[in-house]
Amino acid sequence: MKVIKAKTAGFCFGVRRAVDTVYKQVSSRKAGEQIYTYGPIIHNEEVIKDMEAKGVKVLRSEEELNSLSGGTVIIRSHGVEKRIYDILDGKNVKIVDATCPFVKKIHNIVQEQSRSGRLIVIIGNPEHPEVQGIKGWAGSKVCVIQNREDAENFSANQNEKICIVSQTTFNYNKFKDLVEIISEKSYDVSVLNTICNATKERQTEAESIAETVDAMIVIGDKHSSNTQKLFEICRMACNNTYYIQTLGDLDLNQLGSVETVGITAGASTPNNIIEEVQNNVRIIF
């Protein structure tokens, strides 16, 4: 019996940087100082619970943000709209920016391209905080495309100059397909592939493992976009693919008759959760 764990499973650079930023602020805070994150710092409930146990409060709305009169506010890894920075700048709070550098790069790109007059097309999930943040730096000429139907229905003035960027965790193959559909419409299109290299590597490795095993386990928070994409990719390659947040979500009896199991995890999944799943899967073999 064999268990194969993806080398790319677990925290990516941006997530680790954001998580470390919060714990560093916790360890160095002054007596009585309250630390906040604007939105969950990453998409992982277990990590957020641990931070809350250490006194970190999650601000989940603009109303909560507007009510602040002090403390430290940490910008989450997904980034936020420009207007959130403007609100914070007008308050008596310390701002710590934990936005992933790769996301911050997209903010700069769309701001610059928007100022030059281009229509910004963001390929991604319009409900995801990263996409909402990117959109908030793109000016008034911006739209979000999530699927083939959106791409086929997309239209703009024929003389419009267009800049296409992507959510960092979007499925790379889907991104290429959607770009091709838009490009065939004969617009003046500038395509900037802003999918994080770590995301592409993680997706490629997960697919490769899923193609060779009898069962595949994908570990990550239910709200994690990159984990959802991993699950979709793995399920296409392996029918017996399971999406879990923790070991408690996995029915080990389902794996009793298989000979090989693959394990991967989203970019916001802590290593201790991955190891717990891996160790328990090995026990049943």
Which residues does the annotation mark as catalytic? 130
Within a 10 A sphere around the Cβ of 172, how many other Cβ atoms? 17
CA distance 171 to 102: 16
Please give the angle made by the CA atoms of 143, 97 and 69, to the nearest 5 degrees.
Answer: 100
CA dihedral 42→43→48→49, nearest 10 degrees, is -170
Contacts 24+ apart (CB under 8 A), 93-96: 93/68, 96/21, 96/25, 96/72
Smallest CA-to-CA distance from 93 within 133, 52, 59, 134 is with 59
CA distance 72 to 143: 33
Tokens encoding 117: 């007059």
Q: Residue 66: what are its φ and ψ, rounded to 5°?
A: -65, -25
- Strand order across the 94-97 sheet: 57-59, 35-38, 72-75, 94-97
